[in-house]
Each structure stands twice: as C-alpha cells, then as structure tokens.
Amino acid sequence: MTGDELRAYALSLPEAHEELTWEVHPTFRVRGKIFAIAAADERSVRLKATPEAQQALVTSDPDTFFLPSHVARFGWVGVQLDRADSGEVCELVEEAWRRTAPRRVVRVFDERGGRT
C-alpha cells in the first residue's frame, strides 16, 4: 500500500479529514480526533488500536508491525505500508476510525452498508 492509497481510504470514511500536524505528519481525523498518523515520508502509519490488537499484530509480524514512539503505550500500532497487505491495512484504518468516531456516525455508516 502507498501513502496515497492510505490517504484515499482514510478520507473515504464518513467525516474524515486530513490535517498536517507537527509541520510534517499527515494526520487523519474524525471530528477533530486523530485515528491515524502517517510518517512524514508516508512509508508508515500509526493507527489507533486496542492494546490486545497491538500486541497480536506486533507478535505475529514484527517486520510489518511495530510499537510507535509516544503512542504505543495507548495501544496504537505502527504499520510499514510497503510490507503490509492492503486489505489488512484498510481493515485496521477502519477499526481505528470506528474507535474514534462518534457512535452515531458509526451507526449511520453501518446502516448504509459500511465496508466490512
């Protein structure tokens, strides 16, 4: 998956928008709350996850998934985009969005068929 593909998918989710943070990092947000942080070079992304999902992913494939600095302690997981399966990244992005979006927004998304 490329940074452009990640961006397109993240921005296709309801109410998602992109905002540059720390002058170099594209962040993807819903109602102002971050659910994904791309590296400045867009070769990796940090995604909001549960501590359990983070541990399972890092343990299963440490060359693709990693513990990102500053946010790992909150359950976020890092993903090397060039090593990851695009479908899996999309699932992880959607899950991060679901963990961040208001319940009403998620409910409407699901009622309209969602993606998963």
The pLDDT of residue 21: 85
Percent of the chain whose predicted confidence (pLDDT) is above 70: 98
Is the model's pLDDT at 81 over the cut of 90? yes
Is the model's pLDDT at 24 over the cut of 90? no
Q: Tell me the C-alpha distance between 83 and 110, whole Å.
A: 29
What residues form DSSP beta bridges with 77?
Answer: 47
Q: Tell me the C-alpha distance between 53 and 89, whole Å.
A: 13
Is the model's pLDDT at 116 over the cut of 60? no
This prediction has a pTM of 0.93
What residues form DSSP beta bridges with 82?
Answer: none
Which amino acid, one-letter code, is at 70? H
pLDDT digits (tens, 9 = 90+) for 47-67: 999 999 999 999 999 999 999
Cβ-based neighbour number of residue 111 at 10 Å: 8
pLDDT digits (tens, 9 = 90+) for 28-46: 999 999 999 999 999 999 9
Domain 3-111 of CATH type 1.10.645.10: no
